[in-house]
């Protein structure tokens, strides 16, 4: 695709931004490095659609990386933002809306008795780890290869040489001494977690996991995996931390914990609870959460934590999601899309494995099941790049990386789904013919 001709304004905007912003963006995946064209600059959005600065319309399956579960510019959320902003945008002092949001989170999640509001998922997980270490008096964290938990130093790591070995830094600027506080094991491999506990007996503070891995594409937990993690943490007196920044309020109102019936000790939330604005949270049992300052010795603070505009947007979003039929609608739309994509791939003769749970899904270009990061890395990235480009040409906006998820929102209509399936049929046939 000749981006200069098809998207001239975005091409120019990216060139200008690159003179002032590292890589021309403020978050790496926005640079479209995982595909063959440069990024589109977005002018506006409404419902299921986004519009770039060249005037092109797209059906959006990125949804601000999952945050816009109601769709863009939802009337109730916009009204709440306007009312809150009219009273002042930040006070650095307590507000009633913070308590309202905390109560809603506690009501939604059986495992949560106390909540601390923060401003990003990275901050929530970083605080959860510090809290787990403070509560247990231990230093080591077990995480899963391919699961992303934000860009704090101890989590920008990759697997060591052995299954139960210390991790190594995966980013420049991360000290080896910090990386060695994390042990990386394969996702969906309970025996690897068991081996890590055995090798580092009495030293592991917590197991940190996305209950559904959604940052290497969507990878579901195999049967018994989450329950196995719960059991191992109990046996070893370690905490189980669920990173539900993506799955929280998406798979169910009570997140993955309600969906799979497994309770975490600490839960990290984000994206949806901001209603499109910067907001996140961590929550858990009272005895754990009360370790946080000012009641306990584990320090955490934030100028914009519990921001009144963000909490207003969050409360308005949850007001909609608490309605009984919301998750049925999401499941129906996502199931229809999954079936259509699978049929399109079969008709075109292009091997595609679709992983889906609720309104969260990924299309992997492979003929084998995808159960961990190694499986994801073995998929046909070249075909994904071509699929992304062909779908974009047909007005379908997917995440510009094979390692990211597709999100269905309440704003996606049957007509959107039908149009998306039609675009996929044409795109996959084109890929087949080009092989």
148 is catalytic: yes
User: What pLDDT shows up at residue 162?
Assistant: 52
pTM of the model: 0.95
pLDDT classification of 171: cutoffs 50, 70, 90: confident
Domain extent listing, the chain? 3-73+324-434, 75-321
271 is catalytic: yes
| 200 contacts 139 by C-beta, under 8 angstroms | no
143 is catalytic: no
pLDDT classification of 344: cutoffs 50, 70, 90: very high
Residues 129, 343: Cα–Cα separation, whole Å: 43
Domain 75-321, CATH number (from 3.40.640.10, 3.30.930.10, 3.40.50.720, 3.10.20.740): 3.40.640.10
Fold of domain 3-73+324-434: 3.90.1150
For the stretch 243-257, pLDDT in tens is 999 999 999 999 999
User: What pLDDT shows up at residue 4?
Assistant: 61
Residues 379, 362: Cα–Cα separation, whole Å: 12
Residue 353 has pLDDT above 80, yes or no: yes
**Which of 62, 149, 146, 64 has the alpha carbon at shortest distance from 400?**
62
**Which of 342, 346, 345 has the alpha carbon at shortest distance from 355?**
342
The encoded tokens of residue 409 equal 């929102």
134: phi then psi, degrees, rounded to nearest 5: -65, -40
Common-topology check for domains 3-73+324-434 and 75-321: no
User: What pLDDT shows up at residue 164?
Assistant: 56
Please identify which of the residues 49, 143, 180, 271 carries the catalytic annotation.
Answer: 271
Please identify which of the residues 243, 265, 375, 416 carries the catalytic annotation.
Answer: 243
User: What pLDDT shows up at residue 187?
Assistant: 97
Please identify which of the residues 148, 225, 327, 397 carries the catalytic annotation.
Answer: 148
Q: What is the average pLDDT score of the chain?
A: 94
Residue 262 has pLDDT above 80, yes or no: yes
Taken as a whole, the chain contains a residue count of: 435
């Amino acid at each position: 695709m000749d981006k200069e001709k098809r998207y001239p304004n975005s091409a120019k905007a990216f060139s200008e931004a690159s003179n002032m912003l590292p890589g021309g963006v403020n978050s790496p995946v926005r640079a479209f490095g995982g595909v063959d064209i440069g990024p589109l600059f977005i002018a506006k959005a409404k419902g299921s659609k986004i519009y770039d600065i060249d005037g092109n319309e797209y059906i959006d399956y990125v949804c601000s990386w999952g945050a816009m579960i109601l769709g863009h510019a939802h009337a109730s959320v916009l009204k709440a933002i306007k009312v809150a902003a009219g009273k002042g945008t930040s006070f650095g002092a307590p507000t009633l809306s913070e308590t309202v949001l905390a109560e809603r989170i506690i009501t939604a999640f059986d495992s949560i008795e106390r909540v601390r509001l923060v401003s990003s998922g990275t901050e929530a997980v970083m605080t959860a780890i510090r809290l787990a270490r403070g509560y247990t008096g231990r230093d080591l964290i077990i995480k899963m290869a391919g699961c992303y938990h934000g860009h704090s130093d101890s989590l920008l790591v990759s697997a060591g040489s052995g299954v139960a070995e210390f991790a190594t830094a995966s980013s420049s600027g991360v000290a080896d001494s910090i990386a060695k506080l994390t042990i990386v094991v394969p996702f969906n491999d309970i025996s690897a977690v068991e081996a890590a506990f055995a090798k580092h007996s009495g030293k592991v503070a917590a197991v940190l996991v996305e209950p559904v891995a959604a940052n290497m594409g969507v990878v579901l937990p195999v049967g018994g995996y989450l329950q196995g993690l719960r059991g191992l943490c109990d046996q070893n007196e370690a905490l189980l931390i669920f990173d539900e920044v993506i799955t929280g309020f998406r798979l169910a109102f009570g997140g993955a914990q309600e969906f799979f019936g497994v309770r975490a000790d600490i839960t990290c939330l984000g994206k949806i609870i901001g209603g499109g604005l910067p907001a996140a949270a961590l929550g858990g049992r009272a005895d754990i959460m009360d370790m946080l300052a000012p009641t306990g010795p584990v320090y955490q603070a934030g100028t914009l934590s519990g921001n009144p505009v963000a909490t207003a947007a969050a409360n308005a979003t949850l007001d909609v999601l608490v309605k009984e039929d919301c998750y049925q609608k999401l499941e129906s739309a996502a199931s229809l899309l999954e079936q259509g994509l699978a049929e399109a791939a079969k008709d075109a003769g292009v091997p595609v494995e679709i992983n889906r749970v609720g309104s969260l899904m990924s299309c992997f270009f492979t003929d084998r099941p995808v159960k961990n990061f190694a499986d994801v890395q073995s998929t046909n990235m070249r075909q994904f790049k071509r699929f992304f480009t062909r779908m974009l040409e047909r007005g379908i906006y997917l995440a510009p990386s094979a390692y990211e998820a597709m999100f269905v929102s309440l704003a996606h209509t049957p007509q959107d789904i039908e149009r998306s399936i039609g675009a996929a049929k044409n795109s996959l046939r084109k890929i087949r013919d080009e092989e």
